Structure 1
Amino acid sequence: MKATISLCLLASRTDFQVFFPYSAVAVRTAVLGAGGRYEAAARGYLLPADADAVARLRAACQQLGLPIYVPAVPALAAELPPPTPAQALLARYCQFISLKRYSPQTLKNYRGAFQLFLAHHAPRLPLELSKPEVLDYLAGRVATGISEAYQNLLINAIKFYYEQVEDQPHHYYAVPRPKRPLQNPKLLAKEEVKALLQGTANLKHRAMLMLAYGLGLRLGEVLALTPADIDAKRMALYVRGGKGKKDRDLPLPESLLPLLREQFRQFRPVIFLFEGAQPGEPYSARSLQQVVKQAAGRAGIRRPVSLHMLRHSYATHLLEGGTDIRMIQSLLGHASIKTTEIYTHVAQRTRVASPLDDLGL
């Protein structure tokens, strides 16, 4: 069944509340691309109540083949001023990202970075800037102490505008990039994982943590699972649309199937395998991270622990057990073997014994 978008004019008459199934990622992307925004106070997405924003949303829905309901409303009490050139450019930038089918998180990150770039140079527009001016902007942001990851985000967001939106050649904007720090993955020992899982009594919480460790799933992959992704006959679990929009089939541990069945019987999820307080909506990513932290505290693990550490632990423990690194690459869904090879730096069986141990001291 296709998702349906419906708009409802708020009492302020300046915004529409946008209603759609939370699980429809394409719809969220279309709403953000049309100029919408998430408001925590409204507990949902809002769209400016003007004809241009509605027209952009209609166009995005038409591209996606999705129905949209827009109520017949009288003229707004206060006519909104026309968008500035920078605002119009930002709207076109976001619409282009949404039509490229980038994820809502990518759209949010790029929009924020590009909006800061526009505001810094206002009223001048990016096409009026020289390459040294753009480099000066990046150097100024680096001087404020931003991280290497955020510096790369700024570069990517600006490059996207010049190369994708304005169709400039790729060599138009060649900029130096920071060297990424080579950090070993943080992981848990098998004994720590066992204590963490045994100390989690809540059925839903324990099932999510066991999936993350038992199959090396990312946080988003755990939350996106549906009951149909479990094939009990083949003892397989299907991960759909993982990182890089790649699918993969994983062997389901026999010890996990009874737990997943009991979790389903107890909570009766509507759409997702793990749902939050509202039926049909996925469990919150922030809540799942809190579950991990609380479980680590009960297990007596004092250092910071995240769900992704369970994925790192899964890969490292497989490597220590003798699993071929190419197989681990396939199980993790890595595009490059170089990404998987980071686990050779921490796996105990690949470490060279120190001659100190031979001295008998």
Structure 2
Amino acid sequence: MTPLRQQLLDCMQVRHFSMRTQQAYVRWVYDLAKYTHRSPDTLQDSELKEYLWSLTLDRHLSSSTCAQAFHALNFFYGQVLGRTFNEQLLPPMKRQQKIPELLSLSEVKRIIDVCRNPKYRMMIMLCYGCGLRLSEVCLLKVKNIAGEQRVIHLQQAKGAKDRCIPVSDSLLHELRLYWQRFHPIVYLFFKPIEDQPLHQSSLQKAYYKAKKDAGILKQGGIHALRHAFATHQLMAGMPLPELQHILGHKDIRTTVRYTHWLPHYQAVQGAQFDLLKQLEQQL
């Protein structure tokens, strides 16, 4: 490991950056070095600008991906090398607002039903039944499940925030059946040989296969289940502040975006919604 790489990792770890962010920032600094064929600490502002612009002009990457590259390099040069830039490296970009294709109740049910692997099936049910992110379900531990309280305690999730997520009776029943079969000790979903969590790519691949086997052509990865959870809960009347807490959104405006599908949305105070039970009612 080079000294610069170690310094970058140290700067991120002392600030408690997530592992995913650390990996992304290291990857962008490496990509910069590969593009320029030089050590990053020898580059001029004009060379950094050329690299960042090439991400859009030559590689046609999305605005969000280019923004991530900029933030990674801005952190590296500012915090590791102590440099400031004399010119604007990247012009202001309009973020692409893509509305994901919404999965219906029947489509979610088909995806779950065709998934034959019991571990991946349980993970898919958690993504939909609780609105969990891919990383959150993969890192879920046995101790995070509080059966008597009917909640999942997520510790240091995205944004380094803890939150409690209600678990429906149907989902809790499935979790108990899963535990009786596999008896996980630390991680709920573990690798077969070592007590380590399943890799995120494994679940993503399993989801794509299940979606294909279910004959669903809508675009999007497993994050579509989180969108479906949010939208279906709003369809059932869940209040926006409650959904905001479950999803872990810092700004309620992020949660409000899900009402795009529901022009006549109305909240029902105090209601509890069991999405898996609704799936069982599908023909």
Do 1:293 and 1:304's aligned partners in 2 also have CA atoms closer than 8 Å? no
Amino acid at match of 1:135: K
184, 191, 198: which one aligns with 1:283 = 198
User: CA-to-partner distance for each residue in 1:101-143, whole Å, 9 max, x for gaps?
Assistant: 32333222222222333455565764662x4443233223432
Structure exhibiting the larger radius of gyration computed from Cα positions: 1
2:53 matched residue in structure 1:
139
Partner amino acid for 2:226? R
CA contact (8 A) 1:293 1:306 kept: yes
2:229 to 294, 314, 319: 314
Q: RMSD over aligned Cα, in angstroms? A: 2.6
Contact 2:138 2:189 in 1 (8 A): yes
Q: Which runs of 5+ in 1 are unaligned?
A: 1-34, 36-86, 351-361
Greater relative contact order, per chain length (Cα 8 Å cut-off, separation 6+): 2
Pair 1:345 & 2:260 matched:
yes
**One-letter code of the match for 1:278?**
I
* Matched residue, 1:26: none
The match for 1:117 among 32, 40, 51 is: 32
Q: Work out whether residues 329 and 337 of structure 1, in 8 Å CA contact, stay in contact via their aligned partners in 2.
A: yes
Alignment of 1:293-304 (within 5 A): 293-304=208-219
- 1:291-343 CA distance string (max 9 Å, x none): 22232233331334522111100001111222221211111001111211221
Q: How does 1:58-97 map to 2 (within 5 A)?
A: 87-97=2-12
% identical equivalent positions: 30
Q: CA deviation at 1:144?
A: 0.9
Determine which of 156, 163, 169 is the counterpart of 1:254.
169
Q: Residues 185 and 342 of structure 1 are in contact (CA less than 8 Å); yes or no, is this contact kept in structure 2?
A: no
Cα distance in structure 2, aligned partners of 1:335 and 1:171: 33
User: Matched residues in 1 for 2:89 and 2:35: separation?
Assistant: 21
Shift of 1:256: 1.4
How far apart, in 2, do the equivalents of 1:149 and 1:325 lie? 26
Q: Which amino acid aligns with 2:170?
A: S
What TM-score do you get using the length of structure 2 for normalisation? 0.82
| SS of the residue 1:180 aligns to | coil
Please report the TM-score for the alignment, with normalisation by the length of structure 1: 0.66
Give the direction of change, closer, same or farther, for the CA distance of 1:186–1:127 in structure 2 (3 Å limit): same
Q: Does the 8 Å CA contact 1:184/1:342 hold for their aligned counterparts? A: no
- Indicate the residue corresponding to 2:77 in structure 1: 162
Give the match's secondary structure for 1:186: coil
CA distances 1:151-193 after superposition (whole Å, capped 9, x unpaired) = 2122112211232123446997664232111111332011211
Q: SS of the residue aligned with 2:170?
A: coil
Q: Is the 8 A contact 1:214 1:314 kept in 2?
A: yes
* Shift in alpha-carbon separation, 1:254–1:170, aligned structure 2, 3 A: farther
Q: 1 CA distance for matches of 2:113 and 2:177? A: 17
Q: Which residue of 2 aligns with 1:336?
A: 251
Helix, strand or coil at the partner of 2:73: helix
Instruction: Look up the equivalent residue of 1:144 and give its one-letter code.
Output: D
Instruction: Verify the 8 A CA contact 1:325 1:340 in the aligned structure 2.
Output: yes
One-letter identity of the residue aligned with 2:104 = A
Cα pair distance change 1:210/1:112, threshold 3 Å: closer
Query: Separation in 1 of the partners of 2:209 and 2:54?
Result: 40
